[in-house]
Chains A and B, each alone.
Chain A
């Protein structure tokens, strides 16, 4: 080292799905989520490491195929590279997908200096009998090449040493240029002469971009020439034994089968749902009971030290119960995060999109929206978080809004209870199916309506790679599941506590019978609206309390109708108090009227746009009102 001490900035660039984020994680020790998906890294992530008394900042950029300025990823990368000068550009190349990686490397070399290369997934390549000679690439292009296995063990020290050498120009730097066809070289020369006066330095790449944007046939020729060079280099640096059908291809014969593909997919999702609930339900019960016990103990302890009764009640019945109810969903979410990561890391996600795209696009949605919608049925929050896989802003917004209508278990739990209380078994099945059917139709309708309010950002392009299946790494699975779960808790904790306090205060003030509490008063004020749908104020209060947590409607109804004091159970009391038609309207409204607070907060955090949340709330209120009124009046006719 030459005693240099200034910090070094490294920008990591590569095609989607080459293992950039995995590499980034093993270098920096962070656990940014690894995904077998294009457009996963939606935010730019920078981490610093210390090596030999120097600070090296690594920035993980979204995956791109070239420096066009069309996709949101390309625009983000271009903006970042323009605004944040980097000392080293690190290009990550997948050994199994050399030509595309080399294409990006060639364009990077034309644009930047100094550049270094990390050759990734050498282990997968070796398994497929592909040998890549990294030293040949080094001599071929005169750039340092580090062979790495990102998800496995990594020699970080060696990599850091190379980074510093490159940054300090210890290694010779060569300006790389491809010779294009005569016509292009001639145009370049002309442009250089006229541009020399105002363009800084050697701006061959900029001029190439100018030619590309001005002339379609030149763009095609420039990119083709670059690809030909990439192809040429690839054949020289890699030895490939002619591979037959790989294991991955054999799996796809079934999973992408014209007839069996879809049933297998549905079966896989069904199994996933089943396992999620089978594994998480007992744990959820422990968690809720644990919070209850802790609450009771806290209550007794506080009263023993003469803590004010009112505050104790707030802490125990308000906060501890509210937080406990939400935490009860956590085991289920953790298991779901695990499956979600598994689908993503294994590469099955792209297959799901392939199978579902035709049906989804018939409904005005992108094929990728299928996953958020399915996951939304486990919990709307999961669906909204999964909407990240969509790169276009329009498609993401659609996915987020639509998945907030998905019938989640909290809604279904309440509905199933009421349906079985009010209808005999055959009718109950029919009612349940009609409620689900209405929800699904509404989801399609919402996707359609969104296009009136939010402009589409350009046409959506579907083209993507279908990477081979990957064996998921246990460590990375565990890490991302833990990260997603903790992150979720971190993001919602304040809102849940606040919502619990507000709901408790509304239900307990002014002191006295529940009928006079603020929440009951609000319900009574809103009763005229409810009457349109045949709902009395008690049911409106249950709806209001349901905003904090959807599953709470039953316990609220219990309190409102004084289930505890009365002789019968909740089902009998409800049967005495409301008609089956009212019950149906209530359930319909309950399925639609608004997502819960946690979902709304997640909606905001994923979009950073209050308007979207307001659209979501307004849309669901209006649809609930319209459908509720329609159901009540139609029902009265029979």
Chain B
């Protein structure tokens, strides 16, 4: 396992695993309930013009979120 980074710092199209969700209670609950839970695979598919928001693939579906939300998702690379 590599060292943790936040999702906003991750490269595109890289297979990643969520290690921890941070942030405010409301934001965190929403992310967890929508399936971004520790252990889930996540991949950055695309960034909008000006690199924000970001499109990711989680649990076989596509989701969009802002960069500052990505900053609260800690991920690790999968070998």
Contact = CB atoms under 8 A, between A and B. Distances in A.
A463 B52 contact: no
B53 A367 contact: yes
Nearest to A66: B33
Contact of A355 (B30, B34, B49): B49
A341 to B, nearest CB: 22
Nearest to A468: B62
A466 B48 contact: no
Interface residues of A, number: 40
B33 A463 contact: no
Binding site of B, secondary structure by majority: helix, strand, loop or mixed? mixed
B11 to A, nearest CB: 16
Given A354-B55, A354-B64, A466-B64, A458 B31 contact: no
B29 interface: yes
B66 A357 contact: yes
Contacts of A259: 49
Contacts of B34: 65, 100, 463, 465
B34 to A, nearest CB: 5
A70 B30 contact: yes
B53 A224 contact: no
B65 interface: yes
Contact of A70 (B25, B38, B62): B25
Contacts, number: 116
Contacts of B30: 65, 68, 70-71, 461, 463
Given A99-B60, A463-B30, A355 B48 contact: yes
A463 B61 contact: no
A227 B36 CA distance: 9
A46 to B, nearest CB: 26
Given A227-B37, A463-B34, A465-B62, A256 B46 contact: yes
A465 B66 contact: no
A430 interface: no
Contacts of B24: 459
B48 A223 contact: no
A220 interface: yes
B14 interface: no
A464 interface: yes
B21 interface: yes
Contact of A220 (B32, B48, B53, B61): B32
Given A359-B50, A465-B63, 9 more contacts: A97-B61, A103-B35, A216-B28, A219-B28, A354-B64, A355-B48, A462-B53, A462-B66, A465-B64
